[in-house]
Structure 1
Amino acid sequence: MLQVAFIRDHKEEVITKLKKRNIDPTTMVNEVISLDEERRSLQTKLDNTKAESNKLSKEIGMLFKSGEAQKANLLKEKTTQLKEETKDLEQELNSKTDALKEVLYKIPNVPHTSVPNGNSDEDNEEVYREGDIPELFEGALPHWELAKKYDIIDFELGNKITGSGFPVYKGKGAKLQRALITYFLDKNTEAGYTEYQLPHLVNEASGFGTGQLPDKEGQMYHVGADNLYLIPTAEVPGTNIFRDSILNEKDLPISITGYTPCFRREAGSYGAHVRGLNRLHQFDKVEIIRVEKPDNSYNALEGMVDHVKEILKELKLPYRILRLCGGDVTFASALTYDFEVFSTAQERWLEISSVSNFENFQANRLKLRFKNSDGKKELCHTLNGSSLALPRVLAGILENYQTKAGIKIPDVLVPYTGFEYID
């Protein structure tokens, strides 16, 4: 959530930068400023009314002590009136504050200056590419056919148990999946991230804290009886660890990692681009999360990008990095880099990670602050990234490592799987 003071003091800059998202925020920005002026005016009236009431209460006490009960009782009538005015002003102030929050929750984060203009993922800017795309033998298969051939993932069984988008991993497929999770966690903890086991359901406050609500409620599974949400990513419970916190400067940076299943209701279109593991309603992901001082958050972002690069280099998967354009960057993010692995059998790029800096957007919602060296409270910056999302990494491994004799396991994963081939 943007800070009201920032919107008020940088109105034209906010409007101009938000237009990169292909929206016209002018009406919402003006509404925020107008509501804030009304809110501040009401707060002043309320403060003055309370001050006058307190002053009269002291006078009444002195009058009773001096035996002037008649004058004291007249003033008591005035304080009764002031109490009614105070109650009305408090209700009006609360209403105005709620209206202001409602508008603020609808305004996305201001994109970083480096975010390119664009309308969709087709306008994202490629900033890095590494790895040679392998040449597959004639008759090479896409991963959903490999999964069936080697009996390692059963999409039809998942459809029977739950529905489409809920695959069942079997045998060496399940072990490879587990190996990837452990490998990712080991890489993250070796890099200084503290591992957490996190809840898979969160409350409404957590959804608001990281920006999933009210923007993405249609994409989240909702447990109505308990008003809880299945997590779309470990970012939500992981970042909300620090909600309503005031940290000490010496505690920063904070780096955590966690594995969770992720649940997303998003409806996919039909076609090869969403077949198999390409788009799921339930999938596994290992996340990295950082809480930083504002002056170090972009250095931290580059460090997270380099960390994911190292993992993909060890897996020997061809990949590229995209800087997302204004029309594709997520609601809460100021700057996002997407990693995509090349699927040789499908002849297309598959997104496997997003690494984002939210600056103080989430922290403002979370009330996540730290005390600086001067003892003043500042909003932290929050960042997160997939390290990594498993389905498309697994798809890339199955397709790019396939041979006529079977699927070779990347060397770095063999100590985790205990086998070198799926055959």
Structure 2
Amino acid sequence: MLVVSEIREHKDQYIKALVKRGFDATSIFDEVIEIDELRRTTQGQLDEILSQSNTFSKEIGILFKNGEVQKANLLKEKTVQLKERSKILSETLNSSVEELQQLLYTIPNIPNELVPAGKNETDNEEVFSEGEIPTLSEGAMPHWELAKKYDIIDFELGVKITGAGFPVYKGKGARLQRALIAYFLDKNTEAGYTEYQVPYLVNEASGYGTGQLPDKEGQMYHSTADDLYLIPTAEVPVTNMFRGDLVAQDDLPILCTGYTPCFRREAGSYGAHVRGLNRLHQFDKVEIVRIEHPDNSDAALDGMVDHVKEILRELELPYRILRLCGGDLGFTATLTYDFEVFSTAQDRWLEISSVSNFETFQANRLKLRFKDENKKNKLVHTLNGSSLALPRVLAGILENYQTPEGIKIPKVLVPYCGFDMIS
């Protein structure tokens, strides 16, 4: 969420930057400033009335003590009028604060200057690629056919139990899934991230804190009976562990990792491009989250990108990195790098990770601050990344490692799996 004082100070600059997203902020910024003017004026009037009431209360006490009852009663009448006026002003203030808050929730983050202009994913900028795309033997299959052939993932059984988008992993498929989770967590903890196990349901405050609420695209599963939300990513509960905190500057950076299943409705997702593991309603993901000093967040983002690179090198999967354009940038992010692995059998790139810097956008919603060297409270910067999302990594392994004899297991995963081939 943007800070009102910064909107005032950088209004024209922010309007220009948001054009990269295709978002015209002119009228909404004018409205924000107008409501904030009302809030400030009302707060000033209310403070003045409360000060005057306190003064009158002291005077009334003195007058009664001195026996000047008539004067005291006159002042009491004035305090009654002041209370009535303060009540009206308080209602106006609360209304303007709520209206301002709801308006700010609708404004996306300001894109970083590195973000290219563009309307959609076709305008994303490739910044890095690595790894050889394997040449598969004749008759190579996409992962959903391999899953059926080797009986490692049952999509139809998932439909029977729940519905489309909820696969059942079986035998070596389940073991490989568990191996990937353990491997990702080990890589993250070795890099200095502290592992957490967090709830899979969060309250409304947590959803607002990291920007999943208001749910503009209808992607959140909502348990209405308890007003709780199934998490779309571990980023939500992990980052909200620090909601409302004033962290010590010496404790920065704070590095967290966690594995969770993730739940997304994926409304409107249909067609061959979402077949099999390509797009699911429930999937597993290991996340990394960083709470950073503002001076260090750019370097931290680069470090997270390098960390994911190392994992993909060890998995020996061909991948590329895209810098997302304004039109494809997530609502809360100021800069995002997407990792995509090449699926040889499908002859297409599959997104497997997003690594993002939110700067102060989430921290302002979370009221997550640190005290600087001048003893002033400042907003931290938050970052997060997939390290990694399992479905498309698994799809990439199944398709790129397939042979006529079966599916080889990447060397780095063999100690976790206990086998080197699915056949």
Aligned to 1:97: 97
Query: 2:216 and 2:291 mapped to 1: Cα distance?
Result: 23
Look up the equivalent residue of 2:232 and give its one-letter code.
P
RMSD over equivalenced CA pairs, Å: 0.7
Task: Please report how far the alpha carbon of residue 294 of structure 1 lies from its aligned counterpart in structure 2 after TM superposition.
Answer: 0.4
Indicate the SS of the match to 1:378: strand
Mapping of 1:299-310 within 5 angstroms?
A: 299-310=299-310
Aligned to 2:262: 262
Q: Please, what TM-score do these two structures have when normalized by structure 2?
A: 0.99
Query: 2:133 and 2:39 mapped to 1: Cα distance?
Result: 59
Task: Please report how far the alpha carbon of residue 342 of structure 1 lies from its aligned counterpart in structure 2 after TM superposition.
Answer: 0.1
For the Cα contact (< 8 Å) 1:277–1:391, is it kept in 2? yes
Query: 2:267 and 2:27 mapped to 1: Cα distance?
Result: 31
> Which whole-Å deviations, capped at 9, do the CAs of 1:372-399 have from their partners, x for residues lacking one?
1121100000000000000000000000
Mapping of 1:225-264 within 5 angstroms?
A: 225-264=225-264
Identity %: 73
Q: Would the alpha carbon gap of residues 276 and 235 (structure 1) be closer, same or farther in structure 2, given more than 3 Å must change?
A: same
Task: Please report how far the alpha carbon of residue 216 of structure 1 lies from its aligned counterpart in structure 2 after TM superposition.
Answer: 4.0
Mapping of 1:262-281 within 5 angstroms?
A: 262-281=262-281
Unmatched runs of 5 consecutive residues or more in structure 1: none
Look up the equivalent residue of 1:370 and give its one-letter code.
F
Look up the equivalent residue of 2:40 and give its one-letter code.
R
Matched, 1:368 2:359: no
Task: Please report how far the alpha carbon of residue 268 of structure 1 lies from its aligned counterpart in structure 2 after TM superposition.
Answer: 4.6
Indicate the SS of the match to 2:359: coil
Query: 1:396 and 1:288 mapped to 2: Cα distance?
Result: 21
Query: 2:215 and 2:264 mapped to 1: Cα distance?
Result: 14
Task: Please report how far the alpha carbon of residue 43 of structure 1 lies from its aligned counterpart in structure 2 after TM superposition.
Answer: 0.3
Mapping of 1:291-306 within 5 angstroms?
A: 291-306=291-306
Task: Please report how far the alpha carbon of residue 269 of structure 1 lies from its aligned counterpart in structure 2 after TM superposition.
Answer: 3.7
Query: 2:339 and 2:268 mapped to 1: Cα distance?
Result: 21
Query: 1:181 and 1:349 mapped to 2: Cα distance?
Result: 22
Look up the equivalent residue of 1:164 and give its one-letter code.
A
Query: 2:4 and 2:269 mapped to 1: Cα distance?
Result: 39
Matched, 1:204 2:214: no
Task: Please report how far the alpha carbon of residue 272 of structure 1 lies from its aligned counterpart in structure 2 after TM superposition.
Answer: 2.4
For the Cα contact (< 8 Å) 1:286–1:388, is it kept in 2? yes
> Which whole-Å deviations, capped at 9, do the CAs of 1:140-183 have from their partners, x for residues lacking one?
00000000000000000000100000000000000000000000
Query: 1:234 and 1:301 mapped to 2: Cα distance?
Result: 18
Task: Please report how far the alpha carbon of residue 362 of structure 1 lies from its aligned counterpart in structure 2 after TM superposition.
Answer: 0.2
For the Cα contact (< 8 Å) 1:22–1:327, is it kept in 2? yes
Aligned to 1:420: 420
Look up the equivalent residue of 1:182 and give its one-letter code.
A
> Which whole-Å deviations, capped at 9, do the CAs of 1:228-268 have from their partners, x for residues lacking one?
00000000001000001000100100000000000000135
Aligned to 1:4: 4
Query: 1:117 and 1:17 mapped to 2: Cα distance?
Result: 9
Aligned to 2:64: 64
Look up the equivalent residue of 1:24 and give its one-letter code.
D
Aligned to 2:220: 220
For the Cα contact (< 8 Å) 1:268–1:274, is it kept in 2? no
> Which whole-Å deviations, capped at 9, do the CAs of 1:107-131 have from their partners, x for residues lacking one?
0000000000000000000000000
For the Cα contact (< 8 Å) 1:106–1:215, is it kept in 2? no
Task: Please report how far the alpha carbon of residue 19 of structure 1 lies from its aligned counterpart in structure 2 after TM superposition.
Answer: 1.1
Q: Would the alpha carbon gap of residues 268 and 312 (structure 1) be closer, same or farther in structure 2, given more than 3 Å must change?
A: farther
Indicate the SS of the match to 1:226: coil
Query: 2:272 and 2:91 mapped to 1: Cα distance?
Result: 56
Query: 1:270 and 1:357 mapped to 2: Cα distance?
Result: 30
Query: 2:416 and 2:272 mapped to 1: Cα distance?
Result: 31
Query: 2:80 and 2:29 mapped to 1: Cα distance?
Result: 39
Task: Please report how far the alpha carbon of residue 65 of structure 1 lies from its aligned counterpart in structure 2 after TM superposition.
Answer: 1.5
For the Cα contact (< 8 Å) 1:260–1:286, is it kept in 2? yes
Indicate the SS of the match to 2:329: coil
Q: Which 10-residue stretch deviates more, 50-59 or 316-325?
A: 50-59
Aligned to 1:312: 312
For the Cα contact (< 8 Å) 1:268–1:279, is it kept in 2? no
For the Cα contact (< 8 Å) 1:215–1:331, is it kept in 2? no
Q: Which 10-residue stretch deviates more, 53-62 or 396-405?
A: 53-62
For the Cα contact (< 8 Å) 2:201–2:228, is it kept in 1? yes
For the Cα contact (< 8 Å) 2:218–2:267, is it kept in 1? no
Aligned positions, number? 423
For the Cα contact (< 8 Å) 1:198–1:237, is it kept in 2? yes
Unmatched runs of 5 consecutive residues or more in structure 2: none
Aligned to 1:192: 192
Aligned to 2:348: 348
Mapping of 1:147-162 within 5 angstroms?
A: 147-162=147-162
> Which whole-Å deviations, capped at 9, do the CAs of 1:64-111 have from their partners, x for residues lacking one?
111111101100000011011111110110001000001000000000
